[in-house]
Amino acid sequence: MTKAKIRYFFAYAFLILVSFISVFPLLWMLISATNTSLDVIRGKMSFGTALVDNFKQLVQTTQIGQALINSFRNAFVLTIMSLLVCSLAGYAFEIYHDKWKDGVMKLLLLSMMVPFAATMIPLFTWFGKMNLINTTAGFMLPSISTAFLIFLFRQSSRSFPYEIVEAARLEGMSEIRIFTRIFVPIMKPTYAAAITVTFMNAWNSYLWPLVILQDKKSQTMPILISNLISGYTINYGVLMLAVSISTLPTILIFFVLQKNFTEGITGAVK
């Protein structure tokens, strides 16, 4: 065996090992969803026959349908609003010239250093005075504009052909039409990456929804799952089934947008 073949062998062996370690928690979660709580505790690693019973118990003891609707509605609306606000901001930061824009961008990036927990109590007090507790607006407002998404769109816009904007202006196109007809179609990979990141963050967010969505009818999937482990007796089969159901939308979004997600993160523009 040549040195090249030996090198390839160890490289593929390492990749297979890392892939297995990455996929194992997901596989274990799916297997556990089909087993009883006792089988999960015993460490059974084969598919069982308790999937239907776990599903019946999950439906009867929780409001999972309402939680799925709440999570999807919150994540969908927040993703749309974030894309609109952050892509406009990123476009403006790169296309329009102002001597202060770099300073403002640095302040935005500096805000990423502040943990959300530090601003949560003032936000809750403020939103309470505005009667935004238990509302979708109260859930979305702190996350509509994020420094990361603005930075992502600005960095991607740096490879955007500015000559097209100048030519469109000479043709008499308005700034809104330039943005919607030229910028948005060309920046599809960046939008795909932004959709993936924003939807996943909104779907999986726990701390802020726990604080702002106090009504049981407003609870989301992460809160419902946390409630399943807060009782005296935990049914791990039901718990794993709830986690599996909660994971499906984010997996679907990622696989649908996987190709464009990679291009968008690296800032590629076709």
| Residue range 101-114, pLDDT digits in tens | 888 888 888 888 88
Domain assignment present for residue 19? The answer is no
- The pLDDT assigned to 76 comes to 93
- The pLDDT assigned to 266 comes to 66
What's the alpha-carbon Rg for the chain, to the nearest Å?
Answer: 23
Domain assignment present for residue 172? The answer is yes
Domain assignment present for residue 206? The answer is yes
- The pLDDT assigned to 155 comes to 85
Say if CB 32 and CB 240 are below 8 A apart.
Answer: yes
Residue 163 maps to which CATH number?
Answer: 1.10.3720.10
Domain assignment present for residue 34? The answer is no
Name residue, tokens 């296309």. Answer: 95
- The pLDDT assigned to 267 comes to 58
Is a pLDDT exceeding 70 seen at residue 265? no
Domain assignment present for residue 5? The answer is no
Torsion, CA 166, CA 172, CA 174, CA 178, rounded to 10: -40
Confidence (pTM):
0.83
pLDDT digits (tens, 9 = 90+) for 6-26: 888 889 999 999 999 999 999
Say if CB 201 and CB 20 are below 8 A apart.
Answer: no
Burial class (CB in 10 A: 0-12, 13-18, 19+), 214: exposed
pLDDT digits (tens, 9 = 90+) for 186-199: 888 889 889 999 99
Of 82, 34, 101, nearest in space to 194 by CA: 82
Domain assignment present for residue 42? The answer is no
Domain assignment present for residue 41? The answer is no
Domain assignment present for residue 23? The answer is no
Domain that holds residue 128: 59-269
Total domain count, the chain: 1
Q: What's the chain's average pLDDT? A: 87
pLDDT digits (tens, 9 = 90+) for 148-206: 899 888 888 887 778 888 888 888 888 889 888 888 888 888 898 899 999 999 999 99
